[in-house]
């Protein structure tokens, strides 16, 4: 997280924000170079794939450098700021500190001993916690790159996106010497890509900060290895103009279309980066479609009595009860009867894990995209408590203040797409959950009630479920119970 870069200043790095997040985008700097900061003062606002977070600095002193402009995406472990600490050093840095750079300027001071530096770092840390790290003394870094390790190169004479002298034809691809200790990789996607292609990450030298191995490094190594293996057989073809493509990060091209996309389609239109919330949604939904064999069943229900019950509740005084809170209460009661749907699948162990508590996620559309806040222990809450928590999380979602912890850990999702004015949908399950209840709009429709045709408030309910955790009978029973509670709210009294 931080380390002493010299005798006068400490370098604060982007901390591990938890929940598997590996990078963040700088949204707004809260300090300027030369500003005096106190311990735990927020210095930058960043956007992760989960939420907007203000990052506090665990050191007090004078900001001597900032790393990255607003809009820049940084990996975990990349430098954020350097801070001149200590009385004399901070005073010396206060004057010329507005110059950009990584070192503090000012009158040279005596180099403190290693023990004194360690004591200073302990004194500066407050012990407060932001998801994933504390502002006490930083633990030893788990990933370290061996200095001076040779760079892996490919037949095109490029290594990690940088041009090198071209090797004569027939020269083998050089690789880095295997590095002892942990491999400098943060992203699980990079590890998976290497594992699927039997690539030893220890043989690569990353092009990221501090030798961090990026996805572009792995992709280029795979392309270079494939080209090297086919060099002899394809020598004639290669001399006629065919070349190994450079890494995507080093030479992006509008004409290099993705697999399955024609060159004409790849060169036209506007490209929007899949990052932040949009990127996280894309990754999660794609994974759900790949891994979960989902199925959907649906039913129309007469919600007239439920609407009347809500009106009666709100007429009696006290906090108003929301419709989504009543639907959530029905969900938790149904999951008690059909616990198979409050579960997840452990694919490695080949086991279905039935979960004890219900942490109910609900879909919320915001200016930043679709998010799914989670109501913790929804099964233990009444309608008033659910209403209050839904309101709090919705407001936080719209303001971009949700923490990663409030966006993860759900066991079942309630999706009220009726707010968009539609009747039905077949949603994608929120991986790794096993089911999602969809609720359409409630509208007046002709309905046979007590043997006569009448205009009633009708809603379409749908259940998308993971067919690995249960069969259609269980899913149908769950949805039928939910519909019965919507049509006759008194059914819930049996379980209250």
Edge-to-edge, what's the strand order for the sheet holding 23-29? 52-57, 41-47, 23-29, 73-75
Please report which confidence band the pLDDT of residue 21 belongs to, taking 50, 70 and 90 as the band edges: low
Predicted pLDDT of residue 132: 39
- The pair of structure tokens assigned to 297 is 């069943």
- The pair of structure tokens assigned to 23 is 């990078």
Predicted pLDDT of residue 402: 87
Between 398 and 338, the more confident residue is 338
Which class for 321: exposed (0-12), middle (13-18), buried (19 or more C-beta within 10 A)? Answer: buried
Pairing of strands 435-439, 412-415: parallel
Q: Max alpha carbon distance in the chain (Å)?
A: 94
Round the average pLDDT of the chain to a whole number and report it: 76
Please report which confidence band the pLDDT of residue 364 belongs to, taking 50, 70 and 90 as the band edges: confident
- The pair of structure tokens assigned to 299 is 């039913």
Q: At what angle do helices 472-487 and 304-315 cross, to 10 degrees?
A: 50
Q: What is the pLDDT of residues 234-288, one digit of tens each?
A: 554 444 444 444 444 444 444 444 554 544 455 688 988 888 777 888 888 899 9
**Is it the case that residue 152 has pLDDT exceeding 90?**
no
**Is it the case that residue 61 has pLDDT exceeding 60?**
yes
Q: What is the pLDDT of residues 384-426, one digit of tens each?
A: 999 999 999 999 988 888 888 898 999 999 999 888 899 988 8
**Is it the case that residue 199 has pLDDT exceeding 80?**
yes
The contacts of residue 133 (CB under 8 Å, 6+ apart) are: 1, 15, 16, 17
Place of tokens 């916690």: 129
- Whether 471 is a known active-site residue: answer yes
Mean pLDDT, residues 486-493: 89
* H helices present in 212-362, as ranges: 215-229, 235-239, 263-267, 276-291, 304-315, 323-337
- Whether 467 is a known active-site residue: answer yes
Q: What is the pLDDT of residues 121-137, one digit of tens each?
A: 444 444 444 443 444 44
Lowest mean pLDDT among 2-11, 301-310, 357-366: 2-11
Handedness of CA 476, 477, 482, 483 (dihedral sign): positive
Predicted pLDDT of residue 411: 97
Whats the size of the chain, residue-wise? 496
Whether residue 83 is preceded by a cis peptide bond, meaning omega within 30 degrees of 0, is no
Choose the catalytic residue: 346, 449, 471, 484.
Answer: 471
Residues of the chain above pLDDT 90, percent: 38
Q: What is the pTM of this model?
A: 0.55
């Amino acid at each position: 997280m931080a380390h002493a870069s010299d005798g006068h200043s400490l370098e604060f790095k982007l901390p591990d924000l938890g929940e598997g997040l590996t990078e963040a985008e700088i949204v707004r700097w809260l300090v300027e170079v030369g500003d005096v900061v106190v311990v735990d003062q927020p210095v930058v606002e960043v956007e992760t794939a989960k939420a907007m977070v203000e990052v506090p600095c665990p050191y007090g002193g004078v900001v001597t450098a900032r790393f990255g402009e607003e809009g820049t995406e940084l990996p975990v472990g990349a430098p954020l700021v350097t801070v001149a600490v200590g009385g004399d050093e901070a005073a010396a840095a206060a004057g010329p500190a507005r110059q950009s750079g990584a070192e503090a300027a000012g009158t040279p001071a005596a180099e403190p001993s290693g023990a004194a530096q360690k004591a200073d770092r302990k004194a500066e840390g407050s012990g407060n916690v932001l998801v994933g790290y504390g502002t006490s003394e930083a633990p030893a870094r788990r990933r370290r790159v061996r200095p001076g390790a040779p760079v892996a190169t490919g037949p095109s004479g490029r290594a990690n996106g940088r041009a090198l002298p071209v090797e004569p034809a027939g020269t083998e691809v050089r690789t880095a010497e295997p590095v002892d200790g942990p491999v400098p990789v943060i992203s699980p996607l990079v590890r998976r890509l290497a594992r699927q292609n039997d690539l030893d990450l220890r043989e690569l030298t990353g092009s990221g900060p501090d030798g961090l191995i990026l996805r572009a490094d792995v992709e280029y190594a795979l392309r270079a290895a494939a080209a090297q293996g086919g060099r002899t057989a394809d020598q004639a073809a290669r001399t006629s103009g065919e070349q190994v493509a450079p890494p995507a990060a080093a030479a992006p091209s509008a004409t290099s279309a993705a697999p399955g996309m024609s060159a004409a389609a790849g060169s036209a239109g506007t490209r929007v980066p899949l990052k932040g919330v949009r990127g996280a949604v894309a990754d999660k939904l794609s994974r759900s479609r790949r891994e979960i064999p989902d199925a959907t069943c649906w039913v129309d229900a007469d919600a007239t009595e439920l609407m009347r019950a809500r009106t009666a509740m709100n007429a009696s005084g006290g906090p108003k009860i929301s419709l989504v809170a009543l639907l959530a209460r029905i969900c938790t009661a149904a999951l008690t009867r059909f616990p198979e749907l409050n579960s997840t699948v452990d694919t490695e162990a080949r086991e279905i894990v039935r979960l004890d508590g219900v942490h109910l996620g609900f879909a919320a559309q915001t200016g930043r995209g679709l998010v799914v806040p989670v109501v913790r222990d929804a099964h233990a809450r009444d309608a008033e408590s659910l209403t209050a928590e839904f309101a709090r999380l919705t407001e936080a979602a719209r303001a971009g203040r949700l923490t990663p912890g409030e966006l993860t850990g759900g066991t079942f999702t309630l999706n009220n797409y009726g707010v968009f004015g539609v009747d039905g949908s077949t949603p994608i399950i929120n991986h790794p959950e096993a089911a999602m209840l969809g609720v359409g709009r409630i509208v007046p429709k002709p309905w046979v009630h007590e043997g006569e045709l009448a205009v009633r408030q009708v809603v379409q309910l749908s259940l998308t479920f993971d067919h690995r955790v249960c069969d259609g009978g269980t899913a149908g029973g769950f949805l039928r119970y939910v519909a019965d509670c919507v049509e006759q709210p008194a059914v819930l009294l049996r379980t209250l």
